[in-house]
């Protein structure tokens, strides 16, 4: 019973820590149509895992550095302009492949790569919780600080310039926030599923709310509820936790769409 309490409580705290941040940040991902951008950044984080293992440094640090470098590269070179999502597709798939190959060249290091691809929230420790909640607090502080400017920049570059807001600078801020979230979330839902936790709750909340603030709060609540539901499902039925969390977000999205059809 004590083991159950400690595992589930840590997992719940980790899931809520990521979901409460992914909700508001995911709203900007949806509004700005950056879903593939977030996937490319998350996939690149596997390279960070390999780098951390080679240099014998904390995985969080390696993932944060590589995720930030990938997001910064995409921002600097404007990959989204290369035939819609072509540049992002190249970045997402190639970095993931190089990361997996790099990990395979580390025979002396025993590592469960699936834990970084799909998450292993039940293995979260107190130190991981500190990193998750610390990184989440930084991201939420950034969003709260620049909320109005980010909204203006999201509406359009011309409107942003007219209001004295530099849209490229605000986009850079989002890339920094995205890199921090990816580094924090890789232990919870994994590199392949972090994009889903960003996009699906925000997309669900979009049809249920009328204001940006309400959408951000609703997305956080949906993500938090899905995290708890996925942890419960994993514990009860021995399903993989990260995918289980995403399944709950997908169910919430389907229900929201059915509600719209019925109305």
The token duo for 66 is 């590589």
Cβ-contact 47, 66 below 8 angstroms: yes
In this predicted model, what pLDDT tens digit does every residue of 99-128 receive, in sequence order?
A: 888 888 876 666 777 888 888 888 888 889
Cβ-contact 253, 238 below 8 angstroms: no
- pTM as predicted: 0.90
Class assignment of domain 2-258?
A: mainly alpha
pLDDT mean over 233-243:
90
Give the chain's length.
263
The residue ranking higher by pLDDT, 116 or 85, is: 116
Nearest to 88 by CA among 97, 99, 77: 77
pLDDT-derived band of residue 60, with 50, 70 and 90 as boundaries? confident
pLDDT-derived band of residue 73, with 50, 70 and 90 as boundaries? confident
Cβ-contact 198, 25 below 8 angstroms: yes
Instruction: Give the whole-angstrom CA distance, residue 155 versus residue 167.
Output: 10
């Amino acid at each position: 019973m004590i083991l159950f309490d400690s595992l589930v409580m840590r997992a719940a705290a980790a899931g809520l820590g990521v979901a409460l941040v992914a909700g508001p940040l995911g709203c900007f991902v949806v509004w700005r149509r950056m879903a593939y951008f977030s996937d490319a950044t998350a996939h690149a984080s596997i390279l960070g895992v390999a780098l951390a293992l080679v240099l014998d440094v904390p995985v969080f640090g390696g993932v944060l550095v590589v995720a930030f470098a990938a997001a910064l590269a995409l921002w600097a070179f404007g990959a989204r302009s290369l035939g819609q999502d072509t540049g992002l597709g190249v970045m997402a798939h190639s970095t993931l492949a190089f990361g997996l190959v790099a990990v395979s060249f580390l025979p002396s290091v025993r590592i469960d790569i699936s834990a970084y691809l799909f998450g292993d929230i039940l293995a979260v420790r107190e130190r991981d919780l500190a990193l998750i909640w610390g990184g989440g607090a930084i991201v939420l502080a950034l969003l709260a600080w620049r909320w109005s400017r980010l909204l203006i920049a999201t509406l359009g570059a011309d409107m942003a310039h007219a209001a004295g807001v530099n849209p490229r600078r605000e986009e850079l801020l989002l890339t920094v926030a995205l890199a921090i979230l990816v580094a924090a979330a890789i232990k919870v839902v994994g590199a392949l599923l972090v994009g889903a936790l960003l996009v699906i709750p925000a997309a669900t909340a979009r049809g249920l709310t009328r204001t940006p603030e309400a959408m951000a709060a609703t997305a956080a609540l949906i993500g938090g509820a899905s995290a708890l539901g996925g942890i419960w499902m994993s514990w009860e039925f021995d399903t993989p936790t990260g995918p289980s969390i995403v399944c709950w977000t997908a169910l919430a999205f389907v229900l929201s769409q059915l509600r719209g059809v019925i109305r």
